[in-house]
């Protein structure tokens, strides 16, 4: 299987520039820097380079406290590779400094990853969460210490890797050390006879205050709620909830934060068909007693919403996607609701439900009822994330990484 994968990625190589250009047209790639995904760069190599490899916005936020800590050491150069445009925007606003570098992650093609690794020559390579790319991992292990940090294996991923157990074992053996973010992942690794891992807590629980651009100005948040990371298949449910709340309240504000911004035009069409008043945050960033639906069509504004709007529904949970990570709104002392499908974050939701921070709801009708209850009961007990837990996980992670970085 290992060799078949390598051959397949070799064969796919000539098509990659065309694939990237198609993605640019769909606004899924940076039109000016897409060549970085082909292993090309104009930046010079820096010695004593520590490389963090993450996927998207959530993962780059999770390592932000670590990068902030290590970038104080001017003897280190920190390279961060990400996949998405939104993750670069976060880096630029919060982590960019004289000794931090951002590049878009190379595609897992043997020629491309070899070009990338030979150019950057990392001292330590740190892959975060579920970034298990065979060619990239194999090449990085040849010249650097290799760490899999805050590893997460979902139920779906485990089911897939079971069919390729030997292949997975070959990949995972390249890592010098692994930390896992939950007991579920630990059990899955035990199934694959992996020994070199430890559970020091989920890095995403570590609190981090990033630079706030104030892209949104929410003056009055009375009778408001937010639907976060909503997949396109869930938009109809959110619209139904808004319409239901509108029958009870003369003024209700619904913040709809889509998971994928390339669906904005279709979502606008759906809202228009229901004759619902709405505005785009990119066009009208000031929200003051607005009666209607706020469609969030830009990145990096969710935290500004969580600061003012305390009732949150997490998307990806009304469909068999497995849910989205609820930690960010939990940090802002929000009440969180979710559907039945949360298998991607089972342990996190268990942690939050024990503290009455999150609650399972079955459908859009039940969500409407719960939002009404919250709006009518302003004195609901507040449940803040534990700062002690945040500090504990951060300190354990730093102590673990110091063994390899310093």
| CATH code: domain of residue 126 | 3.40.50.11720
What are 42's two structure tokens?
């104009």
Cα distances from 53 to residues 79, 91, 146, 171, in angstroms, run 8, 13, 11, 16
**Domain assignment present for 115:** yes
User: Which residue range(s) make up the domain with 145?
Assistant: 2-207+391-405
**Do 111 and 149 share a structural domain?**
yes
**Do 168 and 31 share a structural domain?**
yes
Return the pLDDT at 213.
Answer: 63
Q: How many other CB atoms sit within 10 Å of the CB of residue 234?
A: 23
For residues 123 and 125, give the distance between their C-alpha atoms in angstroms, rounded to a whole number: 7
What are 87's two structure tokens?
């993750």
**Domain assignment present for 331:** yes
Cα distances from 300 to residues 56, 60, 85, 276, in angstroms, run 12, 12, 11, 25
Q: Is the pLDDT of residue 336 over 60?
A: yes
**Domain assignment present for 382:** no
**Do 112 and 11 share a structural domain?**
yes
For residues 357 and 360, give the distance between their C-alpha atoms in angstroms, rounded to a whole number: 11
What is the pLDDT averaged over residues 117-132? 94
For residues 48 and 54, give the distance between their C-alpha atoms in angstroms, rounded to a whole number: 20
pLDDT in tens, 37-52: 999 998 987 789 999 9
For residues 85 and 359, give the distance between their C-alpha atoms in angstroms, rounded to a whole number: 32
Q: At residue 239, what are phi and psi to the nearest 5 degrees? A: -60, -40
Supply the pTM of this predicted model.
Answer: 0.74
Share of the chain above pLDDT 70, in %: 96
Return the pLDDT at 127.
Answer: 97
**Do 263 and 172 share a structural domain?**
no
What is the pLDDT averaged over residues 153-180? 92
**Do 252 and 188 share a structural domain?**
no
What is the pLDDT averaged over residues 341-351? 88
**Domain assignment present for 355:** yes
| CATH code: domain of residue 317 | 3.40.50.2000
**Do 185 and 221 share a structural domain?**
no
Q: Is the pLDDT of residue 316 over 80?
A: yes
**Domain assignment present for 212:** no
End-to-end Cα, the chain, rounded Å: 37
Return the pLDDT at 81.
Answer: 97
Which residue, among 77, 123, 126, has the nearest Cα to 105 in the 3D structure?
126
For residues 304 and 219, give the distance between their C-alpha atoms in angstroms, rounded to a whole number: 11
For residues 239 and 295, give the distance between their C-alpha atoms in angstroms, rounded to a whole number: 11
pLDDT in tens, 8-21: 898 999 999 999 99
**Domain assignment present for 383:** no
Q: Is the pLDDT of residue 380 over 70?
A: no
Confidence category of residue 212, pLDDT binned at 50, 70, 90: low
**Domain assignment present for 381:** no
Confidence category of residue 235, pLDDT binned at 50, 70, 90: very high
How many domains does the chain fold into?
A: 2
Confidence category of residue 379, pLDDT binned at 50, 70, 90: low
List strands edge to edge, sheet with 358-360: 278-280, 292-295, 253-258, 224-230, 311-314, 335-338, 358-360
**DSSP-H helix ranges across 129-287:** 134-141, 155-162, 165-172, 183-191, 235-248, 264-273
Do the beta carbons of residue 215 and residue 299 sit within 8 Å? no
Work out the angle at residue 214's Cα, subtended by the Cα atoms of residues 209 and 219, and round it to the nearest 5 degrees. 115
**Domain assignment present for 90:** yes
Helix (H, G, I), strand (E, B) or coil at 25: helix
For residues 42 and 284, give the distance between their C-alpha atoms in angstroms, rounded to a whole number: 38
What are 52's two structure tokens?
């963090």
**Do 233 and 196 share a structural domain?**
no
Which residue, among 39, 21, 38, has the nearest Cα to 30 in the 3D structure?
21
The most confident of the ranges 156-165, 212-221, 385-394 is 156-165
**Do 226 and 150 share a structural domain?**
no
Return the pLDDT at 44.
Answer: 83
**Do 234 and 198 share a structural domain?**
no
Q: At residue 385, what are phi and psi to the nearest 5 degrees? A: -65, 145
**Do 396 and 366 share a structural domain?**
no
For residues 397 and 187, give the distance between their C-alpha atoms in angstroms, rounded to a whole number: 20
Return the pLDDT at 6.
Answer: 87
**Do 290 and 242 share a structural domain?**
yes
**Do 155 and 262 share a structural domain?**
no
Return the pLDDT at 214.
Answer: 67
What is the pLDDT averaged over residues 335-345? 93
Return the pLDDT at 265.
Answer: 94
């Amino acid at each position: 299987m290992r060799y078949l994968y390598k051959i397949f990625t070799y064969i796919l190589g000539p098509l990659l520039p065309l694939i990237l250009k198609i993605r640019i047209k769909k606004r899924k790639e940076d039109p000016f820097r897409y060549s970085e995904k082909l292993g090309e760069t104009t930046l010079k190599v820096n010695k004593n380079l520590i490389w963090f490899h993450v996927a998207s916005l959530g993962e780059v936020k999770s390592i932000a406290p670590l990068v902030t800590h290590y970038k104080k050491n001017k003897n280190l150069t920190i390279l961060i590779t990400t996949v998405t445009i939104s993750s670069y925007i976060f880096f630029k606003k919060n982590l960019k400094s004289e000794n931090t570098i951002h590049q878009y992650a190379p595609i897992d093609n043997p020629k491309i990853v070899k070009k990338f690794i030979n150019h950057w020559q990392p001292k330590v390579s740190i892959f975060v969460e579920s970034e298990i790319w065979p060619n990239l991992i194999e090449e990085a292990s040849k010249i650097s210490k290799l760490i899999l940090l805050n590893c997460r294996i979902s139920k779906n991923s485990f089911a897939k890797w079971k069919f390729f157990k030997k292949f997975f074992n070959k990949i995972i053996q390249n890592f010098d050390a692994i930390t896992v973010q939950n007991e579920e992942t630990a059990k899955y690794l035990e199934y694959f006879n992996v020994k070199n891992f430890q559970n020091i807590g989920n890095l995403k629980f570590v609190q981090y205050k990033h630079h706030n651009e104030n892209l949104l100005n929410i003056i009055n948040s009375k009778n408001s709620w937010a639907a976060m990371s909503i997949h396109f298949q869930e938009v109809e449910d959110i619209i139904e909830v808004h319409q239901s709340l509108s029958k009870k309240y003369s003024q209700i504000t619904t913040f709809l934060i889509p998971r994928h911004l390339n669906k904005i035009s279709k979502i606008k069409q759906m809202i228009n068909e229901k004759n619902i008043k709405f505005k785009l945050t990119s066009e009208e960033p000031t929200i003051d007693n607005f009666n209607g639906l706020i469609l969030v069509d830009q990145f990096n504004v969710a935290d500004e919403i969580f600061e003012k709007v305390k009732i949150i529904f997490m998307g990806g949970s009304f469909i068999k996607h497995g849910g989205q990570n609820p930690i960010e709104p939990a940090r802002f002392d929000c009440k969180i609701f979710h559907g039945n499908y949360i298998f991607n974050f089972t342990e996190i939701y268990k942690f939050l439900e024990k503290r009455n921070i999150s609650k399972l709801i079955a459908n859009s009708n039940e969500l409407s009822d719960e939002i009404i209850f919250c709006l009518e009961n302003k004195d609901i007990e507040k449940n803040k994330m534990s700062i002690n837990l945040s500090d504990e996980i951060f300190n354990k992670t730093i102590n673990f990484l110091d063994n390899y970085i310093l």
